[in-house]
Structure formats: C-alpha cells, structure tokens
Structure 1
Amino acid sequence: MARKSIEERLAQLDAQRKTLQARLTKDERARDTRRKVLLGALVLHRIEDGNEASADYLRDFIQRELPGFLTRETDKVLFDDLIGSDKAAK
C-alpha cells in the first residue's frame, strides 16, 4: 500500500477543514434565522394578545423604528399593518 505524501495529506485535511467550515457557517446562519423568527413571533404575539400597555409600547416602538430600518419597498409592504400605509410610502 502506497503512503500518501505530506502534500496529499495536507490537501485532504484542507478539504475536510473547508467542508467543516461550510457546515459551521450554514448552522450559524440557520440558528440566526431561527432566533429572528422566534423573536419576531414573540413581538407579534405580544402586540396581538399581550396586555394593552406592553402592546401599545411595542406598537409605538415598531411604528417609530421599523420604517427607517426597512430599505426595500417590498419589505415595507409586509409590515403595512404595523407601520401604516402612509409610513410605508415614505
């Protein structure tokens, strides 16, 4: 059985490293997306079903901050119910 050269072994290890790094990056993106979805679900739940004071606070915060955070018109349309059509048009 022929032994692999050091260069071949290094190349194999580098390929494994790249594969593992890609998997890690994918897992981190998936985790980040899940956190955002869950946080958004919590905020929407509190606005819809929470006590009036916290719902009003969140609604005011979203109406104040979200229009400046969103850059695409298609995104603004998604939140039209929260920020209002007049604010989405700005």
Structure 2
Amino acid sequence: MARKSIEERLAQLDAQRAALKARLSKQERANDTRRKVLLGALVLHRLENGKDEISRALPDWLRRELPGFLTRDGDKELFADLLASAPARETTDAGGAAS
C-alpha cells in the first residue's frame, strides 16, 4: 500500500514539474515577444524622429536587409512603404531601364 502512495506522489510531482515547465516556456515566449515589440518600437521611433547619423542610415540598411529577412507576403506588405521608397540604384539611362 505504501508503494502506491509513493508512486502517486511521484506522478503528482511529475505533473507539477510539467506544469511549471509549461509556465516557464510561456513566460520566455512572452519575454521574447516583448523584446521584439520594444526593439521594433525603437527602430520605428528612430525612423520617424531620429536626427543622428545612425537614424539617417537606418532606412537604407532596412531596405537592404528586409527583403532577404521577410519571407511571407503579408509581412512584406507591412513594410511596402519603406521598401517602395528605395532610391533607384540600377537605373543608368534616361529611359529608366536597368543596366
């Protein structure tokens, strides 16, 4: 009889451990999301209000990096305004044809 009690306690401890691991995982995901949101807010703030050298270089850097980073069409649409304002780099003749 005592053996069953220990097995039950072990099962209960295993269930508590699993619940705690799930809570920890959820908290880690929430922290990761919050970091991303805050970092994105900083980047957007610098794009809109920044006057220093880094802020002035940020749009060009994002135009170079975002197309390779974004994989979903919906994500690309979110940044269409930023990506569309890229200066024409490959046009060399008056007709606007790429070289």
Fold conserved (TM > 0.5)? yes
Aligned to 1:7: 7
Query: Once superposed, what is the RMSD of the aligned Cα atoms?
Result: 1.9
Distance 1:38 1:13 in 2: 37
Percent identity of equivalent pairs: 67
| Per-residue deviation, residues 1-38 of structure 1 (Å, max 9, x unmatched) | x9761110000000000000000000000000000000
TM-score by length of 2: 0.78
Q: Higher relative contact order at CA 8 Å, sep ≥6: structure 1 or structure 2?
A: 1
Distance 1:85 1:44 in 2: 15
Secondary structure of the 1:39 match is helix
TM-score by length of 1: 0.85
Q: 2:69 corresponds to which letter in structure 1?
A: F
Secondary structure of the 2:71 match is coil
**Structure 1 unaligned spans of 5+:** none
Is 1:58 the counterpart of 2:21? The answer is no
Please list every run of at least 4 consecutive aligned residues from structure 1 whose deviation after the TM superposition is greater than 6 angstroms.
none
Greater Cα radius of gyration, structure 1 or 2: 2
Aligned to 1:23: 23
Number of residue pairs matched? 85
Change (3 A) 1:85 1:73: farther
Give the drift of 1:85.
7.7
Q: Identify which range, 11-20 or 48-57, moves more after superposition.
A: 48-57
